[in-house]
Structure formats: structure tokens, C-alpha cells
Amino acid sequence: MRGSGGLRTDSLDYRTELLSPEATAENVRVPSEPLWWFSMEEFKLPESHTYSQFGLGYLLRTAPPEYLAKLTYLIWNHHEEVKHIETVRAYKFGSNYFVEIHIVLPGEMSLGEAHTIRETLQEKIEKLPEVERAFVHVDFDITHKPEHKPKVP
């Protein structure tokens, strides 16, 4: 439990709940001063910055290179018909990862065979204790355009 995202979020929330009444009490007695709003913002800005930095840092993390290498190894050794690995991504989702995989299988392979390889790979990856959900996409060639272009250049 130590260092878990849920505990860190709760502790940040409790800290804010402890400090909020103090800021409110100060703002009740200060409105007669010309810059009364400054006292209120003095509290809100640091707290909102702390929340945003913590939240973005926690939510937008990808898996370390060592973990991506482990996933790549599992994919390559999953089935002899895997001809190419286009993409291996893992994004933090709470304490676990969402995993996105794109592989290339032979074009002449039947749909049933391709589906079985994809499904068993997905199940294998989802059995890893640190994986929340895995998505496996199958293509038959590597010359196509990417399905999803990044929105940010």
C-alpha cells in the first residue's frame, strides 16, 4: 500500500480539507480590506498547482523502458507467425497499465487463425499482475498509414 496512487491522492485531499476552513475563516474577516480577494487566491493557487502537477504526473505516465522490453519479449515469443511488432505502449491507469499492441501477421492467414493469435496474446498480457487491460491490433502489412495521427505536433 505504501506509495500507492490512491493513498497519495487521499493524503492530498485531506490536506486540502484541513487547510480550507482556515482560508475560509480568513476570507470572512478580510472583505473590508481593499485586496481581500488576494488572501483567498493566495491559498487556492498553490493548492491547484499541487493538484494539477500531481494529477498530470500520475496520470500521464508511461511504463519504463524495461517493462516495455518485457512486453516486447512476450509478444515476439507468443507465436511464430508474428512477423513484425509495430507498436508497444503501456500507459498508467491507477496502479496498473493499459497496454496497446500492434502486430503484423501474414496476409494469407485465415481470419480465424489471426483472431486466435490476437486473443490469446491479449489474454496472456492481461494475466500480468500490473496490466489492467490490453488491446491488441492485427495488421497484414507494415506499409499502411497509422490509424491515429497525434493531435499534438
Task: Convert the pLDDT of each residue in 33-84 to its tens digit.
Answer: 555 555 555 555 555 555 555 555 555 688 899 999 999 999 999 999 999 9
Residue 44, classed as helix, strand or coil, is helix
Highest-pLDDT range among 16-20, 24-28, 77-81, 147-151: 77-81
CA atoms within 13 A on the CB side of 118: 20
Segment holding 101, helix H or strand E: strand 96-104
- Structural domains in the chain plus CATH codes: 70-139 (3.30.70.1350)
Residue 131 confidence (pLDDT): 95
Residue 49 confidence (pLDDT): 55
Task: Convert the pLDDT of each residue in 73-120 to its tens digit.
Answer: 999 999 999 999 999 999 988 889 999 999 999 999 999 999 999 999
